[in-house]
Amino acid sequence: MHILLTNDDSHLSPLFRFAIDFLKTLGTVTIVVPQEEQSWTGKSMSRFKPLSLCQMRLQEDVAYCVNGTPADCINMGVYHLCPHPPDLVVSGINIGTNTGLGLFLSSGTVGACLEANIAGLPAIALSQSLERAVFQAWIRELRMPEEAMEHLRSQTATLLDQVFRTLWERPDFLRHPVTWNVNLPYVAAPDWRLVPTVLGHAMYGSCFQRDGEYFRHAMELPAPDLREQADSTVIRNGQVSITYINIRELAQTIVQP
């Protein structure tokens, strides 16, 4: 098993280490990660900016670092760094959820997976729900409280093990270029399970707030989709949500204008 791994939070993300350590138990991992945080870049790719590529060490692991987007990283990895196409692309673990259509379409984490699908590869997007205070601590200080890290460290491997076991039982898991959008709860319910979901119909409003003569990103969280099968509902109930996304199916409906 050869896995190509990226994220949109850069190599500085403490949750990236969790993904690396877990995936290394499944096979060989090639790491290609953005040089800087690339949240909210969706599936955008660099057009006019020359991209640089360097190697760095993440503890005992060698990683490639690209001064571009997560989608750039996957394209670079598939066509220029991996000697053969990987079996699977994984993106994450993202700091914060990617639930609902608005965030899903904006997510650099998800965008990397869609780039993998275009290359004909299956992909998994991993995102971690956080308490508001923990998320804000990361935004302000680029660190997470040690108590939160210890909690996630003890929980994440268990959740991911079940996610991958379930997908591995599917005979078609590695055959089709689809994305599995997985969101992990901050505190898993005692009887937690992996729940198939739909993307919630949650749309954001203004993403910007005036700051003097400028506008800065300052989005209020959109109202969640309260349907039982919506991804955000499942996360709030302490379950793990998994949503199947097949971009090829998006182009199969013909509507007469």
Domains and CATH numbers, the chain: 2-251 (3.40.1210.10)
CB of 52 within 8 A of CB of 64? no
pLDDT value at 128 more than 90: yes
pLDDT value at 253 more than 80: no
pLDDT value at 223 more than 90: no
Instruction: Determine what percent of the chain is predicted with pLDDT higher than 70.
Output: 100
Global pTM reads 0.96
For 37-86, the pLDDT digits (tens) are 999 999 999 999 999 999 999 999 999 999 999 999 999 999 999 999 99
pLDDT band at residue 246 using 50, 70 and 90 as cut-offs = very high
Mean pLDDT value of segment 228-245:
97
Q: Please, what is the average pLDDT of the chain?
A: 95
pLDDT value at 129 more than 80: yes
Identify any residues that bridge with 87 across adjacent strands, giving them in sequence order. Answer: none
Mean pLDDT value of segment 143-152:
94
Q: How far apart are CA 3 and CA 129, in angstroms?
A: 24
pLDDT at 221: 79
pLDDT at 78: 98
Instruction: Determine what percent of the chain is predicted with pLDDT higher than 90.
Output: 90
pLDDT at 251: 72
pLDDT at 67: 97
For 176-212, the pLDDT digits (tens) are 999 999 999 999 999 999 999 999 999 999 999 999 9
